[in-house]
Structure 1
Amino acid sequence: MWYAWVEAQRNLLRAAGAWAALGAGAWGWPALIGADWLAPMLQPRPEVPPFGIASVTIGRRRIPVAERIADSTPFCALRHFAREPGSLPPTRRRPSPDILICAPLAGHHAVMLRETVEAFLQNGDVYLTDWTDARDVPLSAGGFGLDDYVLVIERFLRRFGGKRIHVVAVCQATAPTLAALALLASEGAMPAASLTLMGGPIDTRLNPTDLARFAQSHSVDWFRRNLIDTVPPPYAGAGRRVYPAYCQQAAIAAAYPKHQMELEADYWSSQAKADTEGVARSLRQMGEYAAVLDMDEHYFLDTLQVIFQEQLLARGTWQVKGRDVRPGALSSIALCTVEGARDNVTGAQQTHAAHALCSGIAERRRLGLTIADCDHYGLFMGPTLRNQIHPAVTQFWRAAH
């Protein structure tokens, strides 16, 4: 398709941007207002923005946060954001459950969930699945399908041993995370105290959105022919067939223009008010939103078929590497589902459908939240997350245990 041509174009833009910056510096030209907004468009960023969570505020204290890689596979890194115990307020120093946030592999890098990580650092140490851009995974690492995704989550869950943790899965990650926990429960193992599913396609038969209808109206072979491309050199994954990031950028811009426009409006509003902190915040958010990745062909097509076309999880017929996925085996876990009333990515009741599947969980250990005036992105960033969703989930954890 177009991968090599798109990369050549980007390299030319980067070179032009570098020369422009060099020329401006040589002549001592002052920076124009909005130059930091325009530059990334003319000189695409080669790097994913860092999480940059150096500290969080708990009570009236700034608590240092250290970030490290706790575990990894060729396709995913498990990031650990650890609070400094000695800096916590005395009332927060008793051991608290860790939180595992399962980020979606649906186009954006995991840095899109930076605000979610910050919010749940109020509760304990946070672990986050950070999926690798498929263009950077060599062919020697093998393929990566939806079953492999489930096994990665299962591996990360097992590493907690006997510790009881809170698991939070966002968007696309909800179905494979539920599957991984169901597989463990079928073996008699249950490392999680609770599972929170946020805006994810558990049952896409219910109130399908435009995205789901598009996925259901084309064959897997159509997607393979029209949307799959091959990673070119010099990337480590050269030769790997992927659903490329450049296709996803175009699809996201076309399907969800409002969110991009809101980010742009926030930037220019901050510029007009000479709000330097607001400008920096807007630039960071735009960088995170623009950070997209390639997805392995097998994973992308598997997701279309298993989740959107055949709804195997919802129908109770999903098998992962020959093992039956039985959500009804979950019993000692608390289940919370969260939906946005204005979510146009995941349809109404698609996430709440998990309650019917998880029939072994007692009613007192369940909660279904529908957040008024909340779109898809509001579920994991912004004031709705901070002021409504995070407090409600925290209260649910306390009540359930």
Structure 2
Amino acid sequence: MWYALIDAQRRMTRAMAERLPEECACPLAAPASWVVPGEAASAFRHWLLRSACAFEQAPPFAIDAVTSDVTSTVPSAVTGDGCRIRVDESVVDTLPVGTLRKFTRKRIAPEPPGKWPVMLCSPLAGHHAVMMRETVETLLEHRDVYITDWADARDVPPEAGPLPLDDYVLALGRFMRTARAHGTPVHVMAVCQATVPALAAAALLASSQDAPFASVALLGGPIDTRLHPTLIDRFARSHTLDWFRTNAIDAVPAPYRGAGRRVYPGFVQQAAINAAHPERHLCLEGRYWASWLAGDMSGALKALRSLNEYAAVLDMAECYFLDIIRVVFHEHLLPRQTWSVAGRRVTTDALRDTPLCTIEGADDDIAGEGQTHCAHELCDTSHARVGGKITVPHCNHYDLFTGERWRDVVHPGLCDFWREVENVASAILRRRRETRRADRREA
């Protein structure tokens, strides 16, 4: 029972961090001229907590305002070419597997007609959804945003069931309908692992003539891991489910609500993530400590926020984790068109008329070349009015949703796609109205 032992160590770490005196000496030498009492202790405290995965809960999104160049909003302060607009956060739907959060831009008038919100399907692959805070902030510059915030399996009571992959596909379908019920269709945007259940959920809704979304965008997802397999793909494929069950699964100890549930623990995932991508963790740590030692407290706080979000890991239910290994890496059920969810066949060609955009990073070592773009062939979008494939040069997996490549290339590409979808939808609606008026005149 490694989980119980490591959880005891985490609790001890939290207790130690809480007792650090404000006058604690900095663990690294620093100029005394700018060291404010308490800052050194705070820096060491946060390092201690994230190193031991000892955060009691994930950091909040805490997005109070964003900068926007849209003039129909309520500015709280003018800054440069845009204005700061307030943002409200709310929970609009809740299930045992997670919640659907909405971030609403505060404005005087509604958004221009046809400007629809984005539903961001966050990956359940080790991190809390808050790791995508920067993604949400960027999207909020122009649109309202929904995001799936998946529950930590350690906090889900065993009575909620085993939490298989099917539950998450069905949850995404319900969340899409919930978002649509708030007034307009949504642009579905799925990142990384979330592309698989999101595409399945969208296909199931479309096949039942119940599509509450205007478009689908898939970023860096393992739709078909047989194409240009990465190190992660090869590792997952070369180990049996029994191997993962024996070596990666443990039981949640008391006093968590999910005590007794078998999970893939967050601390194991953090070790795997850091081993696979040490450069990202080192880059974030280096940015934080460089700013801290240089006396740039603003830069240090910004880097600290990113570090803490990256270190906020969660437990995944055993059933879900093994389903992902089986469905995505072993049996390739989605690209082979043999996947059934809750007894219903996932037929991706039901999305043939849905605008689809796929985006890959040329240097992505998690989702290999073509693994996301293949969704166009699966969905048979050759006759779709809007859609496309974007491959971003000099872009790794995380660059697809954070950092300069996300802000300067990926997000503008998505905005162009969504604008085109909305323009086509408006033109179709306008023609229908003209036809109805013409029919009435003839009658």
Calculate the TM-score normalised by the size of structure 2: 0.85
The one-letter amino acid paired with 2:149 is: D
Q: Does 1:41 align with 2:33?
A: no
Q: Secondary structure at the match of 1:63?
A: strand
Q: Does 1:149 align with 2:168?
A: yes
| 305-314 vs 154-163, which moves further | 154-163
Please say if residues 113 and 380 of structure 1, whose CA atoms lie closer than 8 Å, have aligned partners that are also in contact.
yes
CA distance in 1, matches of 2:20, 2:185: 54
Q: Does 1:256 align with 2:277?
A: yes
Q: Does 1:386 align with 2:407?
A: yes
Q: Does 1:233 align with 2:254?
A: yes
Which gives a bigger RCO, structure 1 or 2 (Cα 8 Å, sep 6+)?
Answer: 1
* Aligned residue in 1 for 2:100: 78
CA distance in 1, matches of 2:371, 2:21: 48
The equivalences for 1:263-342 within 5 A come to 263-342=284-363
Q: CA deviation at 1:331?
A: 2.9
CA distance in 2, matches of 1:319, 1:186: 13
Please say if residues 56 and 118 of structure 1, whose CA atoms lie closer than 8 Å, have aligned partners that are also in contact.
yes
Stretches (4+) displaced over 6 A: none
* Aligned residue in 1 for 2:5: 5
The one-letter amino acid paired with 1:58 is: S
Calculate the TM-score normalised by the size of structure 1: 0.94
Provide Cα deviations, 1:65-111, integer angstroms capped at 9, x if missing partner: 000100010111000000112188xxx55462121000000000000
CA distance in 1, matches of 2:367, 2:286: 25
Please say if residues 333 and 361 of structure 1, whose CA atoms lie closer than 8 Å, have aligned partners that are also in contact.
no
Please say if residues 103 and 128 of structure 1, whose CA atoms lie closer than 8 Å, have aligned partners that are also in contact.
yes
The one-letter amino acid paired with 2:188 is: V
| 234-243 vs 44-53, which moves further | 44-53
CA distance in 2, matches of 1:393, 1:370: 12
The one-letter amino acid paired with 1:197 is: L
Provide Cα deviations, 1:101-132, integer angstroms capped at 9, x if missing partner: 00000000000111111111123210000000
Please say if residues 355 and 384 of structure 2, whose CA atoms lie closer than 8 Å, have aligned partners that are also in contact.
no
Please say if residues 334 and 361 of structure 1, whose CA atoms lie closer than 8 Å, have aligned partners that are also in contact.
no
Q: CA RMSD in A?
A: 1.9
* Aligned residue in 1 for 2:87: 65
Please say if residues 241 and 297 of structure 1, whose CA atoms lie closer than 8 Å, have aligned partners that are also in contact.
yes
Please say if residues 353 and 384 of structure 2, whose CA atoms lie closer than 8 Å, have aligned partners that are also in contact.
no
> How many pairs are equivalent?
395
Q: CA deviation at 1:61?
A: 1.5
Q: Secondary structure at the match of 1:313?
A: coil
Question: What is the identity percentage for the equivalent residue pairs of Structure 1 and Structure 2?
Answer: 49
CA distance in 2, matches of 1:343, 1:81: 29
Q: Secondary structure at the match of 1:194?
A: strand
* Aligned residue in 2 for 1:56: 66
CA distance in 2, matches of 1:392, 1:360: 19
| 232-241 vs 187-196, which moves further | 187-196
Q: Secondary structure at the match of 1:21?
A: coil
Q: Does 1:18 align with 2:18?
A: yes
CA distance in 1, matches of 2:160, 2:20: 39
Instruction: Sort the Cα spacing of 1:360 and 1:345 in 2 relative to 1 into closer, same or farther, 3 A.
Output: closer
Q: CA deviation at 1:15?
A: 1.9
Provide Cα deviations, 1:222-270, integer angstroms capped at 9, x if missing partner: 1011111000001010010000011001101111101011111211332
| 282-291 vs 387-396, which moves further | 387-396
Q: CA deviation at 1:17?
A: 2.3
Contiguous gaps of at least 5 residues in structure 1 = none
